[in-house]
């Protein structure tokens, strides 16, 4: 994890992931990562900025900040650098167009991080907030270090600072102790929170974790039923949110040619992270891969957007 060596990038890519830390000092009951990767170790800000500038100089337009818990950034360093300051410094680097932050933790994300995201035009108004659950008994059993009240506060603060923010979350269903009532609480929360993007995992036992020793009587079929219920609810929410975007103008990073009939290119707008969210299909010919162009959204389904370049 250092800027000393140049990264190998695929020739047409305009996006690069940039690791700001490795390891994790949290102890989520279901997760084996801390025992595999060790405690959180943050990179020095100057090293991160140097790597980001090198990437920008090589034509990268979007950098995506990653780490097991990006919002724990800097806590392990003597100088205690702040994630909000790092975001602001990255946003002022010449050449970069988009900075995206992934893998925040609801127990650690702070108002100053949200304000930094809201306050810089180059930072995508996209919050990846894996909440995992909303029921306080389940959150406690998961050892997430956060309760539902705080999760709701972050969502509402994000939306009050940025009316156009895209919120993504991931959830775990079927965790030991998730009774029918606790699951219903989660389903109600999904309806209430209306995330733009949401993924659901069924709980699976990881050897060596605290949760592996918890008694669980939730069968695989029931876990899948719970996952499908949430996904079906979310499909309607995502569809409604995407429909509202028709007629809007979005910046789109053109990524590749499309072989879908009627569409020449595939890109992503600021509210779409690569690999996990949908894409934007572009009708027009003549776009340049790797460029960021303005696009009018003309149609949408529950996953993808469709548009024409202006």
Binding site for ligand SF4 (CB under 6 A): 24, 26, 28, 31, 33-34, 68-69, 105
Sign of the Cα pseudo-torsion (174, 139, 155, 63, in order) = negative
Of the two residues 66 and 77, which places its CB atom closer to ligand SF4 in the complex? Answer: 66
We find the least distance from the C-beta atom of residue 17 to ligand SF4, in angstroms, to be 16
Of the two residues 16 and 24, which places its CB atom closer to ligand SF4 in the complex? Answer: 24
Distance CA 182, CA 199 (A): 18
Of the two residues 216 and 243, which places its CB atom closer to ligand SF4 in the complex? Answer: 216
Of the two residues 227 and 271, which places its CB atom closer to ligand SF4 in the complex? Answer: 227
Distance CA 222, CA 60 (A): 44
Distance CA 176, CA 174 (A): 6
Distance CA 108, CA 92 (A): 24
Distance CA 49, CA 61 (A): 14
Distance CA 29, CA 137 (A): 13
Alpha helices in the chain (DSSP H): 33-37, 45-57, 83-91, 111-119, 136-142, 148-161, 180-193, 220-245
Contact 69, 108 (CB under 8 A): yes
User: What H or E segment, with its residue span, contains residue 170?
Assistant: strand 166-173
Of the two residues 17 and 263, which places its CB atom closer to ligand SF4 in the complex? Answer: 17
Contact 265, 271 (CB under 8 A): no
Of the two residues 40 and 300, which places its CB atom closer to ligand SF4 in the complex? Answer: 40
Of the two residues 50 and 212, which places its CB atom closer to ligand SF4 in the complex? Answer: 212
The SS3 call for residue 109 is: coil
Of the two residues 28 and 117, which places its CB atom closer to ligand SF4 in the complex? Answer: 28
We find the least distance from the C-beta atom of residue 276 to ligand SF4, in angstroms, to be 15
We find the least distance from the C-beta atom of residue 120 to ligand SF4, in angstroms, to be 25
Residues recorded for the chain = 310
We find the least distance from the C-beta atom of residue 184 to ligand SF4, in angstroms, to be 24
We find the least distance from the C-beta atom of residue 129 to ligand SF4, in angstroms, to be 12
We find the least distance from the C-beta atom of residue 143 to ligand SF4, in angstroms, to be 8
We find the least distance from the C-beta atom of residue 68 to ligand SF4, in angstroms, to be 4
**Range 117-122 contact pairs with CB under 8 angstroms and sequence separation of 24 or more:** 117/87, 117/161, 117/162, 118/161, 118/162, 119/88, 120/87, 120/88, 120/91, 121/91, 122/90, 122/91, 122/96, 122/97, 122/98
We find the least distance from the C-beta atom of residue 44 to ligand SF4, in angstroms, to be 21
């Amino acid at each position: 994890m250092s800027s000393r060596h140049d990264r190998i990038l695929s020739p047409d890519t305009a996006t690069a992931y940039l690791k700001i830390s490795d390891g994790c000092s949290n102890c989520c009951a279901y997760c084996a990562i801390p025992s595999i990767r060790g405690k959180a170790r943050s990179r020095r800000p100057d090293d991160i900025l140097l790597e980001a500038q090198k990437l920008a100089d090589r034509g990268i337009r979007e950098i995506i900040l990653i780490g097991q818990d990006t919002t724990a950034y800097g806590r392990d360093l003597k100088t205690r650098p702040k994630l909000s300051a790092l975001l602001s410094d990255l946003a002022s680097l010449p050449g970069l167009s988009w900075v995206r932050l992934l893998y925040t933790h609801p127990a650690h994300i702070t108002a100053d991080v949200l304000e930094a995201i809201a306050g810089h035009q180059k930072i995508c108004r996209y919050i990846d907030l894996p909440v995992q659950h909303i029921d306080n008994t389940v959150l406690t059993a998961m050892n997430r270090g956060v309760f539902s009240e705080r999760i709701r506060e972050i969502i509402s603060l994000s939306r009050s600072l940025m009316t156009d923010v895209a919120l993504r979350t991931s959830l775990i269903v079927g965790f030991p102790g998730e009774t029918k009532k606790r699951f219903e609480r989660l389903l109600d929360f999904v309806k209430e929170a209306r995330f733009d993007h949401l993924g659901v995992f069924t709980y699976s036992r990881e050897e060596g974790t605290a949760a592996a020793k918890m008694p669980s009587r939730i069968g695989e079929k029931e876990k899948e039923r719970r996952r499908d219920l949430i996904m079906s609810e979310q499909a309607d929410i995502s569809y409604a949110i995407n429909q509202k975007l028709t007629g809007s103008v979005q910046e789109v990073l053109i990524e590749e040619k499309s072989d879908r009939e009627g569409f020449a290119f595939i890109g992503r707008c600021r509210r779409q992270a690569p690999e996990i969210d949908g894409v934007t299909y572009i009708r027009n010919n003549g776009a340049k891969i790797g460029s960021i162009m303005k696009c009018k959204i003309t149609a949408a389904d529950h996953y993808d957007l469709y548009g024409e370049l202006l």
